[in-house]
Structure 1
Amino acid sequence: MARGVLQELYDRLPPGVQDMFVATAGWRSYRARFGSHFRANLRDISRTDFLDADEVRADQDRRLAETLRWAADTVPYYRELFRREGIDPAKIRSVEELPRIPFLDKETVRLRGNDLLSDGFSSRILIPGRSSGTTGTALRLVHTREALGWEYAVIWRQRGWFGFLLGDRFAGFGGQPVVPFEQQEPPFWRSDLARGRVLFSLYHMKPEFLPYYAAELRQRGYLFWQGYPSSIALVCEYLLENGIDLRTAAPGAVFTSSETLLDFHRDRIVQATRAPVADRYGNAELSVSAVQCPEGRYHVDTEFCALEIEPHEEGPDWVRGEVIATGFANRAMPLIRYRTGDVATLRKQVGCPCGRKRPVVEELDGRIEDYVVTPDGRRIGRMDHVFKDALLVKEAQILQTAANAILVRIAPRPGYGPDAQARIDREFRARLGRDIAVRYELVDAIPREANGKFRAVISSLAGGRLRAPADASD
């Protein structure tokens, strides 16, 4: 049954029954992510957390050698690549020698995805996935349970640095449409008992509903918050503007991910919660991971990946450019020297006051998107979920010049037609409702900004622009 149809059926259920569905989905998710692989990996990386710099490099090089050997033995794409390029992967003994291997780009993953699958696994045990589709190519991905366990091991290692354990209750601000858009009464959240979290809807954050969010967050004892920084910042902006002090209900930390954490978002969250904010940089392809420590520095999770920088600029102590990632966790579909499309600044010297000796990423320049503003005043970020299954879309961009309408530019692939557009429209309606007009325009390519950057959402509305409050002038 199509996901859009399932969403429509879910939306018709009463909130209590929706909680049951969320809890059931949460239990399935828990089993996939937090089984024996998760526990073993968390033990493993807890052991390597404070290795010295030489030991970190040796451990990473060992994991890299295992990944290259596995790719050469079991992945058709790499067998062909290594043979064609005359590469002996056994002679690549360190991350510094990785440039012998050509880059892997997103279009190759899209076109050669089946050849990138390892023949070392039965298809019955693999877990399908998708990457986001607005800022580039929506990719069909495949993961193993072990890979998901690896990802959540590095996530929970970071949370452990701040004193939290698996099972602690937390507030989640992600993109799941868990509350029907048309719902006009609280609760604007649903409980995922299996994973110890309550999922707050990002699609109901308008002025008259935010008091309910604030009341819930003040009284329920969420030990930490986690989610998209732009959405958490909206809640914090409401708390600050209305002088609401969370007092003893304040979270012990706020963990952000999936968007670029902007300075003014961080400042707003810290002011409202008095809690440390710790970000994570990762991707759906499971090829890269870097997390902020209590000192605020991003440490590359060297047990999970190797991170290179293709230089755009360079100084004595740093190098800035595109992130090239090699993932160690996902053996079902290993990506080696993968162009992420993200830009980062890497310190040339390791070291941090926290005592960890892994490489330090100084700055991340990922996606920055405006909000979409609905006719009833909701401000909604991270619209790329609409395109996550849109494999017939090369890229897409949302433009908004009025609160009652948006224009969606789509650069289509061959085969794109009414059925594909109808599926996209259902995703928009689930997140924006039916009071906003959605017009589609097919184009050959999406224009870039003067600085060459792609913007997935562009708003000319004062409430939609993503900028620091001090810059607001209209």
Structure 2
Amino acid sequence: MGITGYLKNSLAENFVRRVPVLYPYLMDLLARSESMSLEERRQLRDQLTVRTLKQAGRTRYGRRTGAARTYGEWAILEKEALREDNAAFSARGFLPAHPAATGGTTGVPLMLRRSVQSVVFEQAVIDHLVQRSSGLDWKKARIAVLRGDTFKDPADMRTPHWVLRHGGLHLACSSVHLSPATIQDFMTAIRNFSPQVLWVYPSALEAFVRLGAEFGEHSGLSDLKVVFSSSEVLDPAVRQEASRFLDVPVLDFYGQSERVCASWNLNGGEHYFMPAYGRVELLPAYEDDAFGFYEVIGTSYWNPAQPLVRFRTGDLARVRKGVGAADLEAITLGLLPFEGVEGRRSEYLLSPEGARLIGINHIPRGVPDIVQMQIVQTALAKVEIHVVPLKGFGAQTVEIILGNARQKIPDNMEIDIRITDHLIRTSSGKTPLVLRQIG
């Protein structure tokens, strides 16, 4: 689900990501799309879809599956197909494409290609959302970064755990070094930098806020205007804690490395898909007492180097129960809100009988005295729950964790709670909630 690393040279970055003529056009389109009527959004969707279908029809995948078909006749594209034959989804263009990759939670890289339009559009989206929520100009703002930056050995606990980049405008912090032993050093460094934006992975934000509060730190970030969260699913409880601790709104951006659709949410309010970003379909998955859950299917609009049609993102959108077809269409076009992204299809455990156990993201909810939690399945009948504790962690906390876990994990699966300083990270620095290490 994400946004690629910045170029180290700020001038080169600004030129590549804000190409003259193209960038102002895209910024204008994003602004105009927010005030479009339902019919105007439909017209924009259909216009951009036709262009993507033409681009996809020139790929080997498109020719193989019949490029002349209408949108609804294209099969849903699985991530495995893209991984197994990446070249079949690539198209040649006049300008070179930018290579990218995502490892996900499996560690198996998914190779991607991004056009100049894709790179510029993604930057325009970030600039637009930050500007509309805080009034800041992203390229001029002081930004403290708590994401997946790696610039020193994880075992090297000597300060500093941060470096200045982009002409001193970015303070890139190594979130892998964030721990009870280093939180006060992190707070001091970030406070001295006095950022206007805190750009985070949600998992890094969770650790930063809970450790800061535990050790009696007040943020003291008087110039901070907004927290910009992206690349992982942001838990509502973490958003509330961050907004309270930092005393600023939290802007949550949902997307994927494949860049097929996107949505945003400001300070815990309603979520909106972005109609100019990509085409969205919502396919019913399951329901609970209050909500319907829909698989998010997306089609890219701005990447002719690798146009993806009806790509299954693996994410679930939470929608109030009983929504009809007309309102569901309005949600996909960003005219009506939805309740948020519930999580990943990959966030499941396998029972010894081979069943998928879902709803695992409910296990950490309401658990006191912890920084973070991670559920690691090491065998079909064994699950480890890794916990980074706070000072008040004890037997009562363990009982709560086990109680939550047993609501989702059957009795024939062993549960082992393990205390740790750091959770397991992917190659991109993310901290997934669920890891299956069973082959």
Equivalent pairs: percent with the same residue?
A: 22
Corresponding residue of 2:136: 164
Against the structure 1 CA distance between its residues 82 and 380, is the aligned structure 2 distance closer, same or farther, given a 3 Å change threshold?
same
Letter in 2 for 1:77: Y
One-letter code aligned to 2:83: R
1:76 aligns with 2:76: no
State which of 28, 44, 60 in structure 1 corresponds to 2:29. Answer: 44
**What displacement does 1:459 show?**
6.6
Cα distance between partner residues in 2 of 1:134 and 1:251: 32
In 2, the alpha carbon distance for the partners of 1:80 and 1:216 equals 55
Provide the C-alpha distance between the structure 2 equivalents of 1:31 and 1:228, rounded to a whole number of angstroms.
26
* Cα separation, 2, equivalents of 1:235 and 1:402: 15
Question: What is the SS of the residue equivalent to 1:306?
Answer: strand
Distance 1:306-1:195 versus aligned 2 partners, 3 A rule = farther
Q: Is the 8 A contact 1:324 1:339 kept in 2?
A: yes
Residue 186 (structure 1) aligned with residue 170 (structure 2): no
In the TM superposition, 1:427-446 aligns within 5 A as none
Amino acid at match of 1:321: Y
2:43 maps to 58
Task: Name the counterpart of 1:218.
Answer: 191
Aligned twin of 2:399: none
Distance 1:303 1:459, change over 3 A: farther
2:121 counterpart (143, 146, 150): 150
> Deviations for 1:18-57, whole angstroms, at most 9, x for unmatched residues?
xxxx983555444432323333311221222222222222
Q: Distance in 2 between matches of 1:194 and 1:49?
A: 33
| C-alpha RMSD of the superposition | 3.7
Q: Deviations over 1:406-463 (max 9, x none)?
A: xxxxxxxxxxxxxxxxxxxxxxxxxxxxxxxxxxxxxxxxxxx9689xxxxx973266
| Alignment partners' CA distance in 2, 1:25 and 1:161 | 26
Q: In 1, are the aligned partners of 2:275 and 2:334 still within 8 Å (CA)?
A: no
> Where does residue 338 of structure 2 map in the other structure?
361
CA distance 1:459–1:168, change in 2 (3 Å): farther
For 1:232, the equivalent position in structure 2 comes to 205
Q: Which runs of 5+ in 1 are unaligned?
A: 1-21, 90-97, 371-378, 383-397, 404-448, 453-457, 468-474
Partner SS for 1:286: coil
Match of 2:103 in 1: 132
Task: Confirm or deny that 1:277 pairs with 2:250.
Answer: yes
Structure 2 partner of 1:331: 304
Matches within 5 A, 1:61-460: 61-72=46-57, 74-82=58-66, 87-89=68-70, 98-121=71-94, 125-135=96-106, 138-162=109-133, 163-166=135-138, 167-194=140-167, 196-247=169-220, 249=222, 251-293=224-266, 296-313=269-286, 319-346=292-319, 348=323, 349=327, 358-367=335-344, 460=418
Distance in 1 (alpha carbons) for counterparts of 2:9 and 2:385: 34
Contact kept? 2:191, 2:219, Cα under 8 Å? yes
Q: Shift of residue 229 of structure 1?
A: 1.5
Distance in 1 (CA, whole Å) between partners of 2:154 and 2:219 is 27
What's the secondary structure of 1:244's corresponding residue?
A: coil
> Which protein has the bigger helix share?
1
Contact 1:327 1:334 in 2 (8 A): yes
CA gap of 1:151–1:242, structure 2 versus 1, over 3 A, is same
**In the alignment, is the contact (CA less than 8 A) between 2:249 and 2:266 conserved in 1?**
no
Name the SS of the counterpart of 1:322 in structure 2: strand
What amino acid is aligned across from residue 39 of structure 1 in structure 2? P
- CA–CA distance in 1 between the matches of 2:80 and 2:230? 25
Question: Residues of 1 paired with 2:182 and 2:292: CA distance?
Answer: 45
How far has the Cα of 1:402 moved from its partner?
10
Gaps of 5+ in 2: 1-5, 348-359, 362-370, 375-382, 389-406, 411-415, 424-430, 433-439
Letter aligned with residue 79 of structure 1: R
3-state SS, counterpart of residue 330 of structure 1: coil
Contact 2:273 2:334 in 1 (8 A): no
Q: Is the 2:386–2:420 contact (alpha carbons within 8 Å) kept by the matching residues of 1?
A: no
State the Cα deviation string for residues 129-158 of structure 1 (Å, max 9, x = none): 112232485311111121011112112211
